[in-house]
Structure 1
Amino acid sequence: MRHVTPVFIDLVRVETRLYDTVSARLRAAQGLSLGQFEFLEIIDRVPDCRVLDIVNDVGITVGAVSKAVDRLVAAELCVRVAHPEDRRSSILRLTAEGEKALAAARPVVEAELAALTASVSSEDLARVAATMAALRAALEAGSVT
């Protein structure tokens, strides 16, 4: 029997510390939370991005994503545009201000993550990345119980 609980606890602690540290640095530098940055990244990356695309990417509820998007709209970082083929849905687009905020935030996030992981070799980081990608894919496919 494998004892994976210590691995899980380490994973959660690492994620929490990385997330909190990067988010604090990003907020201090750019006035954005890491969650806002993630949503802006998804809106920028996914063509004709909808709330459901963010839900599927991040794995949180439609209500939580919709409220977060409402806050991004209120901050004038993105807009909701009518979907040309589905009147029940809207497409999310970054505003010029959202594009500027994302462009300014990317190097802050990258630099902070690089600094936080500097003590880990490139090879080890690549192994962790591959392992996390495989675990995420299995979880998202529903093949892990």
Structure 2
Amino acid sequence: MASTSSGGTVELSGFFADLVRCETRLYNALNDRLRERHGIVTSQFEALRYLRDHPGSRVADLAAEFAIGIGATSKTIDRLEKQGWAARQPNPADRRSSLLALTDNGTQLVGAAEKTFTAEVAELIGGTLDSSSATAAAQALSKLRSVLERNQIGTPTG
């Protein structure tokens, strides 16, 4: 199936394949570099960065942000806790949930890993796309993500 835009026709199955393969390759490259330099993988980095930027989050908040199940998110937090990078704290507003916080070690780790992440993304994307192409891609993906999230498309049920 093709979609027509002002720039011409886009073959959507090819677009989807390119999008998914690019995401996979970028994710894997970041995984390799973060593991090599900091002993973490991309999913751990993203969780740590989210907790740093959203103090007092719950497991459900991370699950919603990353469109993954509550169980998988809880296991991720278990692993971060085991490493001493995050901690669950009682939620005074709801005894059934915990609030999540970074430990001092988690804060130091995410700060160091963010430098590696930023440099790697700049090399992988910035070294390939010129400024106008990167801007157009960022705008298109942001719009697509916004619509998918607004319409709760691809949200896990469990």
Structure 1: gaps spanning 5 or more residues: none
Corresponding position of 2:87: 79
What is the CA–CA distance in structure 2 between the aligned matches of 1:114 and 1:97, rounded to whole Å?
Answer: 26
Corresponding position of 2:22: 14
Q: C-alpha displacement at 1:71, in angstroms?
A: 0.4
Corresponding position of 1:136: 145
What is the CA–CA distance in structure 1 between the aligned matches of 2:93 and 2:150, rounded to whole Å?
Answer: 28
Please tell me whether the aligned partners of residues 48 and 106 of structure 2 are also in contact (alpha carbons under 8 angstroms): yes
How many residue pairs get matched? 145
TM-score, with structure 1 as normaliser: 0.96
User: Which structure's residues are more often strand, by fraction?
Assistant: 2
Please tell me whether the aligned partners of residues 32 and 41 of structure 2 are also in contact (alpha carbons under 8 angstroms): yes
Which of structure 1's runs of 4+ aligned residues deviate more than 3 A? Answer: none
Please tell me whether the aligned partners of residues 91 and 99 of structure 2 are also in contact (alpha carbons under 8 angstroms): yes
Please tell me whether the aligned partners of residues 63 and 69 of structure 2 are also in contact (alpha carbons under 8 angstroms): yes
1:1-145 mapped onto 2 (5 Å cutoff):
2=2, 3-117=11-125, 118-142=127-151
Bigger Cα Rg: 2
Q: Cα RMSD between the aligned structures? A: 1.4
Query: Cα deviation per residue 1:38-74 (whole Å; 9 max; x = unaligned)?
Result: 0001111113111011011000000000001000000
What is the CA–CA distance in structure 1 between the aligned matches of 2:150 and 2:13, rounded to whole Å?
Answer: 22
Identity across the alignment (%):
37
